[in-house]
Amino acid sequence: MGRSTWFCWNGVLSTAVLYGSLALFTSILHNVFLLYYVETFVSIYKIDKVSFWVGETIFLIWNSFNDPLFGWLSDRAFLSSPQSGSHITSPEVVLKRLKALSTNGPLFALSFLAFWVAWARPGLQFLLCLCLYDGFLTMVDLHHSALLADLAVSATARTSLNFYCSLFSALGSFSVFMSYGFWDKEDFYYFRYFCVTLAAFSILGFFFVSRKLQLRFKKEILPKQDEASALKELSVGNAPFTNAEKPVTIGQYLKQLSKHKNFLWFVSMNLIQVFHCHFNSNFFPLFLEHLLSDSISASTGSILLGISFVAPHLNNLYFLTLCQRNGVYQVIKWLFLLKLGLGLVMLLAGADHIYLLCIFIASNRVFTEGTCKLLKLVISDLVDEDFVVNRRQQAASALLFGMVALLTKPGQTFAPLIGTWLLCVYTGYDIFERQPVKDSVLAPDISSGSGTPPLRLGCFYMLVFVPITCALLQLAAWSRFTLHGKKLQAIKTLRQGTQHGHMIDVKAI
């Protein structure tokens, strides 16, 4: 028994490393995309304002609906099958997801390359690149996230998978350090070759790692188990042994969801969080250029940029320990209060404290991204509540995750739209203008008595007022969220009791 357990654990560890490495091949590309795609089309390809807004609006619709759409297309065959007894993850599902990653991963990398070479009119290229990139990214994220449940045999194994995923995501963030050294709006040649190198590494990684996992699964798991033991080994949890009831229609499900108050308050908070995360990523180069470029060296800017992308993944390991002691709700509330406090301190200090400004720019992104890393735990709690309140035979986890994405992904599109609008309204500086920035925008005109602040001061106010406003709105929404403390424990007890204690303990993740 002990030897068998050791061999299983050893296999899980090696599989966890391969699973985590898939996050590396995504993050090395996605971090660079978030940082440079807006400035590339605005400053280099000279996209006009109307095309930019139209492209972002269409992308908003596509970005919101492709998660539940692809989730349904991927799993509809399994959801359509009548279920009774144990909730089973079949070996065919795992192999299907690995095959999808070996195909969609390289296509995702190729769609990343389409941003950095002008091959069509800027407006058309902007729209097509965004939709293609996000479509393949959604497919990769969907199957990679689903594999977490498919490959996790125990709570310990699932924690191991999460650990390596965070570790490799942190390693992938180092592409940001290197990108700052290649980025040059005046000479785009070397940055293009840098992106080609990243994409080639990602393509090879997706192909070989997913193939390796397929071979390992076929050779080491399937031949060693008969059908019954294979199903038991791959089962994430056991549902009550009852006859399948009439399935819930999508209309009935949406009606139930509309009455789920904690879900609605969470979505309201998370929409603001998604907006703030992408606002920080999209306007990081602008803040570095107009607030710090005259005071810090290029190498310092590269380090600052890299830290802001790497630290959230490392912080996540510490935040998880805090969640085990104090609960996810309380830790997220502390992070909102910290965001508000840091913003107020920076506002009072002013834009002339360079070192404090460096710390704030980096920490603002670190803590904002750190909050995002914890939200999957909250969604898991909402799945538990949905299961208990609506007396489901099986937890509708995939559908609930898709609905959260549907309602919160618009924040990703709102970020560049609202950011560019605020900059134009507040400073008079339009990033879509083709002429050089006027002196009156760069420096205040005292004689004119105009109330329009200079560009540097406008960037500073954007930097501090956006997190302050987001924190206040999020604290208001989060205070109405009641799924924590004794209520959360009662929900978990009811679900575990309903499913005879065979569920994986969510708090152990």
pLDDT of 380-410, one tens digit each? 788 778 878 887 765 566 677 778 888 888 8
Strand, coil or helix: what is 45? coil
Q: 3-state DSSP helix/strand/coil percent for the chain, to nearest 5? A: 80, 0, 20
Smallest CA-to-CA distance from 269 within 362, 339, 364 is with 339
Neighbours of 289 (CB within 10 A): 16
Closest CA to 161 of 150, 174, 171: 150
Neighbours of 261 (CB within 10 A): 12
What rounded mean pLDDT belongs to the chain? 77
- C-alpha separations of 473 from 45, 62, 258, 416 in Å: 36, 26, 21, 19
Percentage of the residues of the chain whose pLDDT score is greater than 90? 23
Question: What value does the CA radius of gyration of the chain take, rounded to a whole number of Å?
Answer: 24
Residue 384, CA distances (Å) to 67, 238, 390 in order: 21, 14, 10
Name the DSSP class of 92.
H
- Look at residues 366, 343, 374 and name the one whose alpha carbon lies nearest to residue 464: 343
Residue 104's pLDDT band, with cuts at 50, 70 and 90, is very high
Residues in the chain: 509
- The segment(s) of the chain belonging to CATH 1.20.1250.20 are 14-80+89-222, 260-430+453-508
Looking at domain 14-80+89-222, its CATH class is mainly alpha
Tokens 């490799």 appear where? 168
Task: Give me the torsion for CA of 396, 401, 406, 409, rounded to 10°.
Answer: 170
Higher pLDDT, 1 or 508: 1
What is the C-alpha separation between 339 and 324, in angstroms, rounded? 22
Instruction: Tell me how far apart the alpha carbons of residues 87 and 85 are, in angstroms, rounded to a whole number.
Output: 7
Helical H segments across 288-353, by residue range:
298-326, 328-349
**pLDDT-wise least confident of 167-181, 193-207, 278-292, 386-400:** 386-400
Integer Cα distance of 136 and 106 in angstroms: 9
DSSP H/E element including 256? helix 250-258
d(CA 248, CA 390): 11
CA 264 to chain centre: 19
Which H/E stretch holds residue 410?
A: helix 410-427
Phi, psi of 336 (to 5 degrees): -65, -45
Check pLDDT > 90 for residue 471. yes
pLDDT at 4 over 70: no
What is the model's pLDDT at position 124? 94
Classify domain 260-430+453-508 by CATH number: 1.20.1250.20
Cα(431)–Cα(39) distance, rounded to whole angstroms? Answer: 9
Cα angle 65, 70, 76 (rounded to 5 degrees) comes to: 125
Question: Is the model's pLDDT at 106 over the cut of 90?
Answer: yes
pLDDT score at 135: 92
pLDDT tens for each residue of 419-466: 888 888 777 777 666 454 544 445 554 444 444 457 778 888 888 999
Handedness of CA 461, 464, 468, 469 (dihedral sign): positive
Overall pTM > 0.85: no
What 3-state DSSP class applies to 56? helix
Token duo for residue 85: 């007894």
Going by C-alpha positions, the residue among 273, 306, 307, 109 that lies closest to residue 207 is 109
pLDDT of residue 26: 94
Q: Tens of pLDDT along 123-157? A: 999 999 999 999 999 889 878 877 765 665 343 55
